[in-house]
Structure 1
Amino acid sequence: MGKIRIAICDDEQNIRSYLAALIRREDSSCRISEYASAEAYLAAGEDYDLLLLDIELGGGAADSGAADGGMAAQRGAAAGAGSPGSMDGMALARRLRSLPPDRQPLIIFVTGYESYVYQAFDVEAFQYLVKPVDEGRFADVFRRAAEKLSVLEKQRRRTLLVQYAGASRVIPLENIRYVESRGHKLLLHLKEGTVEYYGKIGELELELGGQFARIHKGYLVNLRHVEEYARGQVTLTDGEKLVISKYKYDAFVKQHLRFLRQ
C-alpha cells in the first residue's frame, strides 16, 4: 500500500517523539502527525490509517504539531490541548467508532495502565501496549498492523462488474451496503442509491467471498457496514435495520468475527 497515515495522540512530548522514532525505524515512508490531546486530534479533521493512542490524556501542554510539517495538527493545537475536563483516549476511541467504517483508523492503545485492557476490546482496539514500551513487541505489533491495513486496502479496491440498462458498471465493493434479492433481480443498495440487475443471490454470495454474509435468503450484507446485531436484526452504520434469519444467525456471528480479525 501507499504511505501509511499515522497519528500519535499522547499528552507527553517525549512519548510522542519516542513512538515516532520507533515507527520510522520500521517504515521511514510513513506520514506521522502528533497530537497532545483528543480535542486537538478531532479539531484537525484528518483521517488516519493507524492511531497510537494514550488513554490517560488531559495533562499535557498545548504543544501539538504535525511531525511531517502538515497544518492539521497545528490547527488542532488551538483546540486547547490539556485543558481541564478534556476527553480521554477511551472517549476518543468511542467517538471514532461512530464514524463510517472507511474513516475509522486501527487503534493501538499505548498506556501506562493495564486496567483498561477489557475496555479496549469494547472499542475494537487492534492492540494494547503498556509503557514503557518494549521495542521488540512494538515492532511485531506495527508489522501486523501494516499487514492488516494492506488487506483492508485490497478489500476497498475490489469491484463488482454488473450489466444493467444496456450498459456495464464497475462498482467498488466498499460502496455496497447490502444486496437484496427480488424475484429474478438483485438490488444493490449503495451509499448513493440502488442498482438493479438480473442475477442470483447465491451465485453473488460465492463471488463476493468473506466480506459479505448471508443473513436471510433474500439479503446479503457487507460486513464493513455492520454497526451492531442481535438475534433477529442487523443494524447498519447508517442506521438501517435488516432482518436476520434465526437459521443464519450463528454462521453470521462466526463470519463477522473472522472478518474483524483479518
Structure 2
Amino acid sequence: MDVMIVDDEAAARRILRDCCATEPDLDVVGEFADAQEALAAIRRHPPHLLFLDIQMNTMSGMQLAQSLDPEALPLIVFVTAYDHYALEAFEVSAIDYLLKPFDDGRFRAMLARVRHRHLAQTAVDRQSALATLIGQLDRAVHTAGQSRPRLLADAGGRMQMVDVAQVEMVEADRNYVMLRVGKDTLHARSTLQQAEGAMRSQPMLRISRSCLVNVNHVREVSRTPRGDFILVLAGGATVSSSEGYRDKVRVHLERLMVGAS
C-alpha cells in the first residue's frame, strides 16, 4: 500500500516512517509537515493509506480529511493526543486512530485492522465512516463544553479564573493545592480530595497520594527500571508515579491502548 504521513511534528513523522519501514507491504510515498502541501499532493496522487495528525497549526486533520475527494478517499488513520470525549467518538466509527504515544504493538494491531479494511471497504464505506466520526466528534465537543466548570485560584497575589480543562496537574501542598496550567503554577486553599471533586469532568488519574494528573495533557509515557511510570505533560512538567499507585496507573494506561478491550 502507498502511504502518506501528515504531521507537523518531525519526531512523530520519523516514528511513523520507521514503523512503516518494518512492514513489507507499506511504501511511504510522501511525508508532509504542512497540511496545505499535503492536501495538494494527496489530490494529485491519492495514497492507499493516510496517517493524519488531528492537531496541526495551519489546518486540522479533520479539515484536511473533509477536503479530500470522496470518490478517491484513502484509508485514514488519525494520529492523536485527543481527550477521552474524542476517543469515544473513534470507537463508534470505522476509522482507526493511534493515540500518542504509541508503541510497535499498538501500531501492528492498528495495521491488521487497516489491511482488513483495505480489502473490504469501498470509497462509499470510507466516506460514510468519516461522516459518522465527524458527527460523533461534534457531539463530543458539545458534551465537553457543557461540563467544563471554572475554578478560582491564586496567581501571585491576584485571583485568576481557570477552566478546569486547562489544568494539567494538581498537587497537594499542606493546606493548599498547586494547579499546573501550562508553565504556570497557581494555588488554591483546598484538599486534594476537594480538588479531585472539582475536576470530575476531566479524566484525572491519581499517580501518588499527593498528585493528580489530567490524562488529556499527558504527552509522553515511559517507565523507570523498577517499573514506575514517568509522565511528561504538555506544559513540560515531568512527574512520576509512586510504588503504591503503580498498578492503578498501569491499568488505566492499558485501557487507552489501541486494541484494548
TM-score computed with the length of structure 1 as normaliser: 0.51
**In structure 2, what is the equivalent of residue 73 of structure 1?**
36
| Structure 1 gaps, min length 5 | 1-9, 12-35, 44-54, 60-70, 83-87, 111-117
Give the 3 Å change call, closer, same or farther, for CA 176–89 of structure 1 in structure 2. Answer: same
Which of 108, 130, 135 in structure 1 is aligned with 2:118?
130
**In structure 2, what is the equivalent of residue 232 of structure 1?**
228
Which of 243, 247, 251 in structure 1 is aligned with 2:244?
247
Contact 1:178 1:188 in 2 (8 A): yes
Give the 3 Å change call, closer, same or farther, for CA 100–133 of structure 1 in structure 2. Answer: closer
The superposition leaves residues 174-226 of structure 1 with CA deviations (integer Å, 9 ceiling, x where unpaired) of: 32111111001111111141111100111221332351111111110010122
Which of 171, 177, 193 in structure 2 is aligned with 1:180?
171
Give the 3 Å change call, closer, same or farther, for CA 256–74 of structure 1 in structure 2. Answer: closer
**In structure 1, what is the equivalent of residue 161 of structure 2?**
170
The superposition leaves residues 120-165 of structure 1 with CA deviations (integer Å, 9 ceiling, x where unpaired) of: 8239969743245155687467535642563356446723322437
* CA drift at 1:228: 0.9
**In structure 1, what is the equivalent of residue 63 of structure 2?**
none
**In structure 2, what is the equivalent of residue 151 of structure 1?**
140
* CA drift at 1:170: 3.1
Give the 3 Å change call, closer, same or farther, for CA 259–146 of structure 1 in structure 2. Answer: farther
Contact 1:211 1:259 in 2 (8 A): no
- The whole-number CA distance in structure 2 between the counterparts of 1:205 and 1:176 is 11
Contact 2:153 2:159 in 1 (8 A): yes
* CA drift at 1:260: 6.6
Describe the SS at the equivalent of 1:206: helix
- Quick one: which amino acid aligns to residue 206 of structure 1? G
Count of aligned pairs: 190
**In structure 2, what is the equivalent of residue 38 of structure 1?**
5
- Quick one: which amino acid aligns to residue 246 of structure 1? E
- The whole-number CA distance in structure 2 between the counterparts of 1:177 and 1:101 is 14
Describe the SS at the equivalent of 2:106: helix
Root-mean-square deviation (CA, aligned residues, Å) is 5.0
* CA drift at 1:244: 0.7
**In structure 2, what is the equivalent of residue 213 of structure 1?**
205
Give the 3 Å change call, closer, same or farther, for CA 195–42 of structure 1 in structure 2. Answer: closer
- The whole-number CA distance in structure 2 between the counterparts of 1:216 and 1:161 is 23
Q: What percentage of residue pairs aligned between the two structures are identical?
A: 16
Q: Does 1:101 align with 2:81?
A: yes
Describe the SS at the equivalent of 1:58: strand
Give the 3 Å change call, closer, same or farther, for CA 153–138 of structure 1 in structure 2. Answer: same
**In structure 2, what is the equivalent of residue 29 of structure 1?**
none
Contact 1:176 1:188 in 2 (8 A): yes
Give the 3 Å change call, closer, same or farther, for CA 102–259 of structure 1 in structure 2. Answer: closer
- The whole-number CA distance in structure 2 between the counterparts of 1:76 and 1:159 is 38
| Structure 2 gaps, min length 5 | 10-25, 57-78, 98-102
Q: Does 1:203 align with 2:174?
A: no
- Quick one: which amino acid aligns to residue 213 of structure 2? V
- The whole-number CA distance in structure 1 between the counterparts of 2:80 and 2:118 is 29
Contact 2:106 2:257 in 1 (8 A): no
TM-score computed with the length of structure 2 as normaliser: 0.51
- Quick one: which amino acid aligns to residue 29 of structure 2? G
Which of 182, 190, 210 in structure 2 is aligned with 1:191?
182
- The whole-number CA distance in structure 2 between the counterparts of 1:233 and 1:258 is 15
